[in-house]
Amino acid sequence: MRKKIVAGNWKMNNDLQASISLVNEIKSGLSSMELSSTEVMIAPTFVNLHAVTKLVEGTAITVAAQNMHFAEKGAYTGEISAKMLQSVGVNTVILGHSERRAYFHEDATMLAKKVEQALEHQMKVIFCLGEQLEDRKADQHFNVVEYQLKDALFQLNDADWQDIVLAYEPVWAIGTGETARPEQAQEMHAFIRNLIAEQYDEKLAEEVHILYGGSVKPTNAVEIFSQKDVDGGLIGGASLNATDFLAIVNAV
């Protein structure tokens, strides 16, 4: 049985003091929860990663980075490498988020290189994929997701998938208050899992974690997470509030 994952993506929010306060609230709330079948992750901004990794030492919380560069090192002003992340205790990275694709023009070629670099350093990758509203209205959502999956990840070998977590995020449901209906989330998650089974095999496909990301809230988390192929969530805005985030973790 796949372990559930709830990951909080804090995006460009929270200075150091706010990050410390939020981590401490989450730690306190998790201390009374049974987490044997759930992994909890948080992804602060780069400048707060070191402080947060120190705060969560000895807890069940994993710290992830929100992005990283595809090069080992070099003249890439403002960028962060895999080794830099690992030097502060971070071994998980979110790649391919829709905001990175839209605002920074990250395409499949670049993302494939980032995934390769992360895996070379034995890092776990949360790889995001999902369609825009116009894609869904044009009935192209399956084609878009298939392209994003195949062009960035289907060059991987079987063993690499042990370190890949997928996160389906319908872009039209991020920060809009809209949420894919549970059956829509299940439909796409099952589609993704079937693509992996066709490319590799059913055993591998059944082992891959596929998270849902798109306006998950305490009020809808139980229904979404109860779907057969939904293995947890990549949480945006609700992860910035400890009470909401803990309620979502508790909903798994």
Whole-number percent of the chain with pLDDT over 90: 89
Centroid of chain to Cα 90 = 14
Residue 118 burial by Cβ neighbours in a 10 Å radius (0-12, 13-18, 19+): buried
Give residue-wise pLDDT tens across range 197-250: 999 999 999 999 999 998 899 999 999 999 999 999 999 999 999 999 999 999
Considering 39, 99, 131, 169, which one is annotated as catalytic?
169
Q: How much is the pLDDT for 174? A: 76
pLDDT higher than threshold 70 for residue 84:
yes
pLDDT higher than threshold 80 for residue 130:
yes
Q: How much is the pLDDT for 177? A: 67
Task: Decide if 169 is catalytic.
Answer: yes
Confidence of residue 172 (pLDDT cuts 50, 70, 90): confident
User: HSE of 188 in the Cβ direction (CA atoms, 13 Å)?
Assistant: 28
Question: Architecture of 4-250 per CATH?
Answer: Alpha-Beta Barrel (3.20)
Going from N- to C-terminal start, the domains of the chain cover 4-250
Q: Which amino acid is at 35?
A: L
Q: How much is the pLDDT for 13? A: 98
Considering 39, 69, 97, 106, which one is annotated as catalytic?
97
Confidence of residue 161 (pLDDT cuts 50, 70, 90): very high
Residues 49-74, mean pLDDT to the nearest whole number: 97
Q: Which amino acid is at 189?
A: H
Task: Decide if 105 is catalytic.
Answer: no
